Structure formats: C-alpha cells, structure tokens
Structure 1
C-alpha cells in the first residue's frame, strides 16, 4: 500500500550537535519531508548556527515560546514548576540568547507561523495533521501523556483533524483519544527523559490512517556539556544533560 513518511523535530534549544545527528538519521532513512515545531534557541551555545542550519535545509518551522521571547524581547516569566535555582539560571541563559542571536535571525523567528495544518491524500483518502509547539491555543501550556485530552479531541474532531503533533514538554509519547492520534515528538536538544537521547517522530501516512514512531538518537552529550561549561551559559544546563 502506498504511504508517505514525514519526520517531525522539536525543541532543539541551540544544541547543534544533537540536531546534526538527528538530521543525519532522518537522511539515512530517506525521509525528505522534515518539519520543526520550534524552540530553536536557549540553553546551548549554538542558537545562530541552529537557525542557519534549519534555514539552509529549508525546514518549515513553527514559532516556539522560546523563539517568541527572543524574537520580541519579551520578559521572562517565572514558571511554577521551576525552583529558585532554575529560575535564576533560566534568566541568565535567555539573556545570553537575547544578546547573541543576530538581528536577521530574530526577524526570521518573528516571521514563523504559530501552527501548521498538513493535508495528505493517499490512494484517494485524506489525512489531516495539525502541527503545534505546545497546544492548538497556546505556546506555553503543557500537555503530558497523563493529562485529559477530551476537550482538545472534541475541538480537533470539529476541525476534521486526524493527528495532533506537539513538543514543548520534552517528553515523547503516542496516545489515541477519541479517534485523534496525539503525538509528542520529544526534544532534540534537551530531552527530559532518563536516557537524554535526542528524540523525534516519524509519521507514516496511508489510506488506512497515520502511524507514529518515536525515534531516539545517540549523540555525544558530553561534548555539548563541555561546550556549555566553556560558554557564558550557566553550568546548570550542562549538568542537566549529564544527569541520567
């Protein structure tokens, strides 16, 4: 049966090394369509380089909450799930991005769309995939696997959406709710999962429906941590990557 495969990445967070390993894995699989759900910047030294690579590869990208903050120089709002130590380090890391991301890259980020709907027609059957950074309504809301998704499902069914793919939480999962396939593709550059591997999603789209697979990619985490230690970014973010 005929099918189409696409790869979806998210939450690179300036980790160029992880991004290169993920793109190499996607290329090795022969997948030509790649989409990014945003958060290209913050927490590693290569914000400009990550943006340049995404632009060079022509990867359609959404505006993540971190991208939005850098593009528009908005204030850093404390998060309930962060303690005082993480909050202080977060302020320093984001300030580094605001100082160092080039003006043309800030403008490019500012021009990114909030979400993207893809319609695939395979063997006469249409499948509609909605790409968001966090949720269809917010770039800041967290939707974890354990969370109730009935309201979101109802809204998506009303809009003829078959699949919702999101990032933001840095935890990957695949879940079916009321005939809607929910997929969180995890994080390329700052996974919060125990293995700390770079994570992304492959969707296989056919007349029978859409199948999702979470892919985990090894990369030299220690090399990234050492680069953070040698930069102005707080050591907190290197220490985090080395925890497993």
Structure 2
C-alpha cells in the first residue's frame, strides 16, 4: 500500500510545520503534497517556503500565496512579501492550482479551495449567508467536482471521485452522492468555527493542534482496491510560535496570537 500525506494552510508557522513533518517522516511517508497558503498570518514565511520546497513533491497555490506574490507593485511593501524576497515570490506566483492522480481505482483531485478560484468557500459546518463572503460561497458540495476553465479542464475530462482541499482550516471527511470529500484542516492556523475566543476554555487543546490527511491505497492504479483516508492531529509548541511572533515587527500579530491559542477565526 502507498501512502500520501496531504497538508495545507501552513501560514508561515514554522513550529507547526516542523512538528507535522516529523510526524509524517516517523510514519515512513515520503510523498507529501501541500495544498497552498504557505504564507501570511505567522512570521516565518521564508523558512516555511524553503522547508516545503525541500520536502514536498507537489505544492499548490492558495489565495494567500496569490495575494503576496502578485507582480502588482502595490503589494511589494506587504510585510510577508518583503520577508520572502522576490525569488520566493516568483516561486509562489508560478505554482499550479490543481493536481490529480488515480489511487486504488479512484480519481483524486486536489486544490486549495474550489474549482473556481483559490478564494471560493465550501464549508459544510458553517454558512457565510448574509456576510461579505456570501458571494464566494458554494451552495452545494457537488460544485467541488466541476471541471472548470480555472483548473484547465473541459466537460470532456473525467469527473473526480475524491476531492481534497484546504482553505477553511477545519478538517472533515464525508461522503455525498457516491463521492468523497475531505478537508485537510490547517497545519499552522487550526480553526473551529464555533469557537468564541475564550482563552479559558480547556477544550481548546483539542482544536489548537495541527491537522493533515493521509491517503492510503495503490498510487497510480485505476483498478478498484482498498483505499482509506485518515485524519491526523499533531500537537505543536504554540508558545514557541507565539514567541516568534512577539519578537517580530509583523503588523496585526495580536489577533494571530489569540487565534493560535483559541482556534478561533481572526
């Protein structure tokens, strides 16, 4: 059986990334795919990009990667853009938005957020109705399976059997109309959508930990055989990452620190 570790949304959190990579390597897994958003939020985007380039077979582009790697000169002074430098920015800008492969007879398609952009949202546990994000929210899980121009697909291309994505920072796995959907959650900024910034909630310790997915099956095979999706949660030293933030000159770090401690959306 082959195994692939699927990670996403590291968000410049080098402490969490190191913990997750240690866990992956301890399991003897060498094939690692990252679904994007390597940067912003935490303060070590340069170290994270370099570590992902060293360890990942595939790295995709996320919305935050797009926001700081655009050639638009207005973004050149953005804190994370300055931190990563032009070579890494060009690397992010040229990353693909999708990858797919067969595994145990199933066509598995991976992207950061959706088939329409790196910013559209599908969250089965939370609605953006009557919010500013309503216009980019998908109304049905079946929209995740569409072949779109954004992905470089046409209606003649095969429809995937399994979709994996990141973006929402909240891990889940479910079946719908003979299809399988999984979300990796986030390595660097875990979120529980119902959390309320309560620093005294002891149950936060179950949510403020990194997550990733392990796919297990026969890689590259179109023949139906055993296939599994495993959600893994990995604790990391949150206070160490917060120390990096406190010692940095990154703007807006107080909100990030609170989110790291509560797993709430900032």
- Corresponding residue SS for 1:7: strand
Residues 75, 237 of structure 1: alpha-carbon distance in 2 compared, 3 angstrom cutoff: farther
Which residue does the alignment assign to 1:213? 230
Q: Structure 2: where are the runs of 5+ without partners?
A: 126-138, 149-154, 193-203, 219-223
- 1:119 pairs with one of 85, 102, 109: 102
Which residue does the alignment assign to 1:204? 216
How far did 1:160 drift? Answer: 3.3
Which residue does the alignment assign to 2:122? 143
Q: Which moved more, 1:153-162 or 1:23-32?
A: 153-162
Alpha-carbon distance between aligned partners in 2 of 1:38 and 1:241, rounded to the nearest angstrom: 19
Residues 39, 152 of structure 1: alpha-carbon distance in 2 compared, 3 angstrom cutoff: closer
Q: Is the 8 A contact 2:11 2:189 kept in 1?
A: yes
Alpha-carbon distance between aligned partners in 2 of 1:38 and 1:154, rounded to the nearest angstrom: 20
Q: Structure 1: where are the runs of 5+ without partners?
A: 77-90
Which residue does the alignment assign to 1:86? none
Alpha-carbon distance between aligned partners in 1 of 2:106 and 2:39, rounded to the nearest angstrom: 31
How does the TM-score come out when normalised to structure 1?
Answer: 0.83
1:114-193 aligned at under 5 Å gives the runs: 114-120=97-103, 122=104, 126-146=105-125, 148-153=140-145, 159-193=158-192
- Corresponding residue SS for 1:190: coil
How does the TM-score come out when normalised to structure 2?
Answer: 0.77
Which residue does the alignment assign to 2:49? 51
Q: Which moved more, 1:51-60 or 1:163-172?
A: 51-60
Residues 187, 168 of structure 1: alpha-carbon distance in 2 compared, 3 angstrom cutoff: same
Which residue does the alignment assign to 1:66? 64
Alpha-carbon distance between aligned partners in 2 of 1:75 and 1:219, rounded to the nearest angstrom: 36
Residues 74, 215 of structure 1: alpha-carbon distance in 2 compared, 3 angstrom cutoff: farther
- Corresponding residue SS for 2:2: strand
Alpha-carbon distance between aligned partners in 2 of 1:151 and 1:34, rounded to the nearest angstrom: 26
Residues 137, 225 of structure 1: alpha-carbon distance in 2 compared, 3 angstrom cutoff: same
CA RMSD of the aligned region, Å? 2.4
Alpha-carbon distance between aligned partners in 2 of 1:65 and 1:151, rounded to the nearest angstrom: 19
Which residue does the alignment assign to 1:236? 255
Q: Is the 8 A contact 2:31 2:56 kept in 1?
A: no
Which residue does the alignment assign to 2:33? 35
Instruction: Return structure 1 stretches of 4+ with deviation > 6 angstroms.
Output: none
